[in-house]
Structure 1
Amino acid sequence: MLSRRGVLAGGVLALLAGCSSAPSGPPPGPPAVPAPTRPSALRDPVTVQRMRSAARGTDVDLVLITPAGVPAGGLPVCLALHGRGARARTFLELGVPDLLTAAVRAGTPPFAVAAVDGDHYWVETGDGDDPQRMLTDEVPGWLTARDLRPAAGVFGISMGGFGALRYARAHPDLKAVATASAALFVSWPDARSRKVFADEANWRAEEPLLHTETLLPAAVGVWCGDADPFLGADRKLVQAVNPAVARFTPGKHEDGYWRGILPEVLKFVGPRLA
């Protein structure tokens, strides 16, 4: 039987790992279906399809979210990158479909959100699984096949914040780069404790805090709770980039905080993609 101390220690470790809540029960949203032979413009505000990613060497969910009542054809797209231990469907659990529709009805220019399954901070760590290559080489084709524009923005939560900043480094023309509770590491010992990166060289090549010079401040928005374990690292990001938006408000590294700031994030992204 686990002691109370053991349970508390486990909870702290999960928090520091930069995870969002682990999925439980049936996945939210429509059931995943195979990718159609001939993809076409979206008909529903939410679709989930299983896609084969050669870059990752596995099948992934492709979750596409558009504002209800708005024709999907030709909409600009913001990629959404989930946290460690989560998945693309996490953005359904966080209420993005309703929040996006509400934002658009309140005047935010319409856009689509595209989420896919990722892992190990959305970078290649030496095992042949390369989420960044999936985002760059495969996702654009998946979007255009469904009559959506290539991604012009990216948003990431926790581990996804790391991945979003890494993606922005390779795509300096992005119009919006938003992070929530970005899981960033100020030192190699800190990064090594996550047991993700192959070695220090792998971490240094990927760590966003070591490569901020390519970020366009006007395109960047940073959100983080004032009780988040990554608060110090996110403050360093703000100091280095001087982003258009930097919001440090009450909150922890948890779903409740992310649900609370998502309306602001969507309103930040929409006008920049329009």
Structure 2
Amino acid sequence: MLSRRGLLAGSALTLLAGCSSSEPAPGPPPVPAPTGPSPLRDPVTVQRMPSAARGTDVDLVLITPEGVPSSGLPVCLALHGRGARARTFLDLGVPSALTEAVRAGIPPFAVAALDGDHYWVDVGAGDDPQRMLTDEVPAWLAARDLRPPSAVFGISMGGFGALRFARAHPDLKAVATASAALFVSWPDARSRKVFSGEDNWRAEEPLLHTADLKAESLGIWCGDADPFLGADRKLVRAVNPAVAAFSPGKHEDAYWRGILPEVLKFLGQRLS
């Protein structure tokens, strides 16, 4: 039986679904991938990439500040929520917010958003988003004359994935989560119908591996009316991150747009 919390979370997470199939995809149409290292020509580029790790093609959405040469920029990965996709970060206004942050004095960096699923972990379905991020994305970035990922930002389900990525990459300079979809117990996690079993969830759940997270590089944001508020507060108590920001807001686009400038500032200051 679904818990009340599980029902609330399920309703809230649907808000991050992005555009439906009947709506035009946000952002520019995909363009061919470069055959050799090639700086990006536009502040927003969408390319369709074959991922062996995921067993499917994915969108690679690259966002750089306007008026800034892209060559050699550090990169922050952007991981979307359940039901959403890489292009959701365009809907949320990341291109304009990143440009505004850099114009305000934040050192420039690039954002690389990918399509993911299954809380960004391997649940035994032949689809391993973490392996894509670790084994495939660095080469995709190098082909565009960008540095390997040195930061990660995740929203909701993407927050779960960002923390899992951080566990495997302790050298990251910055890790940021917004409304991270975390689970304080197996019944809560089971209600999402994603994990293959309790052992799979226990191996991946960030709340069960907080010793693997570096407090000085971690920033956590969550709205005070978010169904994951309790779980995110538990993470803060366990890790004591560099930033823990709980402010008015729900599990919705309006909240994430509102905190985006703070998150980009946090990331940019550490990436420099």
In the alignment of these two chains, the number of paired residues is 264
> 1:17 offset after TM fit, Å?
4.5
User: Whole-Å Cα distance in 1 between the matches of residues 8 and 236 of structure 2?
Assistant: 26
Aligned AA for 1:36?
P
Query: Percent identity at matched positions?
Result: 79
**Which structure 2 residues correspond to residues 76-225 of structure 1 after superposition, within 5 A?**
76-225=74-223
Q: How well do the aligned residues superpose, as a CA RMSD in angstroms? A: 1.3
CA contact (8 A) 1:18 1:183 kept: no
Aligned AA for 2:203?
A
> 1:12 offset after TM fit, Å?
4.5
Instruction: Render the CA deviation track for 1:215-261: whole Å, top value 9, x for unaligned.
Output: 11110000000000000000000001100000000000000000000
2:272 paired with 1:268: no
1:15 corresponds to: 11
Of 238, 247, 254, 2:236 maps to: 238
> 1:19 offset after TM fit, Å?
5.5
Instruction: Render the CA deviation track for 1:143-196: whole Å, top value 9, x for unaligned.
Output: 111110001000000000000000000000000000000000000000000000
Of stretches 75-84 and 11-20 in structure 1, the one that deviates more from structure 2 is 11-20
User: Whole-Å Cα distance in 1 between the matches of residues 87 and 193 of structure 2?
Assistant: 25
CA contact (8 A) 1:161 1:179 kept: yes
In structure 2, runs of 5+ residues without a counterpart are 1-6
1:6 corresponds to: none
> 1:43 offset after TM fit, Å?
1.1
In structure 1, runs of 5+ residues without a counterpart are 1-10
